[in-house]
A and B are shown apart, each in its own frame.
Chain A
Amino acid sequence: MITDELKRTILTELELDDFVLHPDTTASEVPGWDSLAHVRVVRAVERAFQVRFSTLEVLRLRNVGDLQVLVDRKRAR
């Protein structure tokens, strides 16, 4: 389940009006979310949730669900 807050953060950064994000949605399926935009999205999520990801955490993300799990884990700390 992707929270509205995460979805809004991602879509705002990508300047998309609306787009359905499932846990298994990958960046390559989302308009504008190319390799160059990826780090921008990651930084926007860090800012929005006041968390910090390590390089390896960023590189291991496979889909939006992984990003949600990572955010939840960081926030639970």
Chain B
Amino acid sequence: MTACESAAAGGACGGARSAAGERLWDRWARWAQERGSRDAVVHWTAGEEPRRYTWSALVAAAAHEAAALAAAGVRQGDVCALVVRHHPRFYPLYMGISAIGAIPSVLAYPNARLHPDKFVQGLSGMARRSGLDWILTERALEATVRPLVAGDGSRARGLLFPLEWPAAEVGAPARAVDLPREVAATDPCLLQHSSGTTGLQKGVALSHRAVLEHVESYAAAIQLTDADRVVSWLPLYHDMGLIAGFHTPLAAGLSLVQLDPFEWVSAPVLLLEALSRERGTLTWLPNFAYNLMAERVHADEVQGLRLDGVRMFVNCSEPVRHESHGRFLERFAANGVRPQALAACYAMAELTFAATQTAPGRAAPTLVVDRAALSRGEVAPARDGAPSRICVSSGPPIPGCRVQIVGADGRELPPDRVGEIALRSPTMFEGYRNGPEESARVLVDGWYHSGDLGFLHEGECYVIGRQKDVIIVAGNNVYPEDVEDAVSAVPGVSPGRVVAFGVEDEEAGTEVVCVIAEADATDPEERKRLVLAIRRAGMAVDVTISRVHLAPPRWLIKSSSGKPSRKANKERIAREPLLQPSHDDTRRAS
């Protein structure tokens, strides 16, 4: 295969060009015609032969699922929540939903830790706010989800178990699917949700045009060519997995090798094996993944693996740490990982996906700056002997996207000044689904205010932190409110006298969740039990609380609103460890 000419000229791969009025299904059907015998999706499961769909087989299977969905009553415009585990029928199902003009929304399958009530609470919040018409799931969740469908005020019309339906016969002639002509390119083609467990999830609907145009811009930024092959372990309920990992290769007519996120996190070598065996060229990873692979893969497991064909490992969705790139490079240089393959991207579902991207063929630039100046909001070169910080660039804006740094007064700041990152792009969302207040808060005069802090330097965007208190654990957003509410309800904890915040864990390359809770208990055994109960309360909302500090009554510093301040108390606990340490106070220092 050769690189398409436009890519060689620095433009997008020809395959990623969108025609006026084109919808996702039109594009996929075109690939089935033009590239029918090429791989579209390779579904990878450890210990098994991968299940390979060619473009013609995938589109035929999607047409089969579309007919079954229509027969089950799914109609154009219906929102279909997909809650299934890693399964080879996921892809044709997702595409089949699109083929009848309905709107897929991939949701996380609940893990065993999450309390079923919490899962239902989250789902019912989404059903209320986003209007989920159908829930497509596995039989194992029936008892949990059924009350939601029958419940008062729920719009959900039905529960479907499509993995039990007869599958398309291999090699059967494809049924013709004519996506209704009235489905416009400007209609929603998918609905994404932010993470969170207590009904705080915000829905972002994206149109066919937004996804196709975004893929076109992003393809130009990463110089996507027909020789590219994406390998991904990322969950598909997350924008990085869904847009970068799934929609980008499929809209561009390339192939995707999809691993099981649960298998990968238990056996991180799987990604490296898949990249080597399937000759992957592109993969997207949250920062913690670099550490996990560098630290937890045995030397003999990677013997003979070839990673020199990977032209970009794109670090995205949590702050990029220079240290993590260093560890990964040192560990896998012998397998062919090159410094110039270590790329970075700044992305969010509100923009469809990417805002900025480092240039292909060049390591993500770094800047060593003076830490004290940075905390004052200024970017200055590091001075000898003074504390410094290595900031990693997330690259310049992708074509069509604009980036501004704004100060507290809302005015644009010059380069090398730290402020909130505001963005504008043709593929930006128009607002959260049924969330006008949330939307008005973040969309100001056509600019999306990200809540992230950063600066521009020589045209590149450096993301250095957040204004919001959200904690990013292994690429997942954890809202401190969720944790505080859960911990507040633990008997023995003073209600409302709890703060949760993130603490950097350098070894893991991500943040961990830390809690300070006020309690009267003084007996050591009772305190131990309380610490355990607090950690269990976190588990029930699917949050691992790594550190628990029990504080005496009135220890927490309050903010002007009268509520305990996360920032002030995080600083206080770092400054003055509590005199009566709970077991967890002795955990490794951050």
Please report A residues at the B interface, Cβ cutoff 8 Å.
15, 17, 19, 26, 28, 31-32, 34-40, 42-43, 52, 55-56, 58-59
Contact = CB atoms under 8 A, between A and B. Distances in A.
B560 interface: no
Contacts of B583: 17
B544 interface: yes
Given A31-B536, A39-B267, A59 B46 contact: yes
A34 B296 contact: no
Contacts of B545: 31
Contacts of B265: 35-36, 38-39
Nearest to A26: B112
B50 to A, nearest CB: 15
A interface, by DSSP: helix, strand, loop or mixed? helix
Contacts of B262: 35
30 contacts: A15-B584, A15-B587, A31-B532, A31-B536, A31-B539, A31-B544, A31-B545, A34-B113, A35-B266, A36-B288, A36-B292, A36-B508, A36-B544, A37-B544, A38-B265, A38-B266, A39-B265, A55-B46, A55-B47, A55-B267, A55-B269, A55-B301, A56-B46, A56-B47, A58-B266, A58-B267, A59-B46, A59-B47, A59-B266, A59-B267
B119 to A, nearest CB: 13
Interface in B90-149: 111-113
Interface of B: 46-47, 111-113, 262-263, 265-270, 288, 292, 296, 298, 301, 474, 508, 528, 532, 535-536, 538-539, 544-546, 583-584, 587-588
B111 A35 contact: yes
Contacts, number: 61
A55 B544 contact: no
Contacts of A31: 532, 535-536, 538-539, 544-545
A59 B474 CA distance: 20
A42 B539 CA distance: 20
Nearest to A18: B528
Contacts of B528: 17
A32 B266 contact: no
A13 B539 CA distance: 18
Nearest to B534: A31
Contacts of B508: 36
B46 A28 contact: no
9 nearest CB pairs, A to B: A28-B112, A31-B535, A55-B267, A28-B113, A34-B544, A35-B265, A39-B296, A56-B47, A17-B583
B286 to A, nearest CB: 11
Nearest to B474: A36
Contact of A32 (B268, B292, B298, B544): B544
Contacts of A17: 528, 583
B558 to A, nearest CB: 29
A31 to B, nearest CB: 4
Given A55-B270, A56-B47, 7 more contacts: A31-B544, A34-B544, A36-B474, A36-B544, A42-B266, A55-B47, A55-B301
Contacts of B546: 32
Nearest to A46: B298
A40 B535 CA distance: 19
A42 B292 CA distance: 13
A58 to B, nearest CB: 6
Nearest to A19: B532
Nearest to B508: A36
A37 B536 CA distance: 16
A52 B298 contact: yes
Contacts of A39: 265-268, 292, 296
A56 B546 CA distance: 28
A36 B112 CA distance: 14
Contacts of B536: 31
A15 B111 CA distance: 22
Contacts of B112: 26, 28
Contacts of A15: 584, 587-588
Contacts of B47: 55-56, 59
A70 B144 CA distance: 34
A36 B264 CA distance: 10
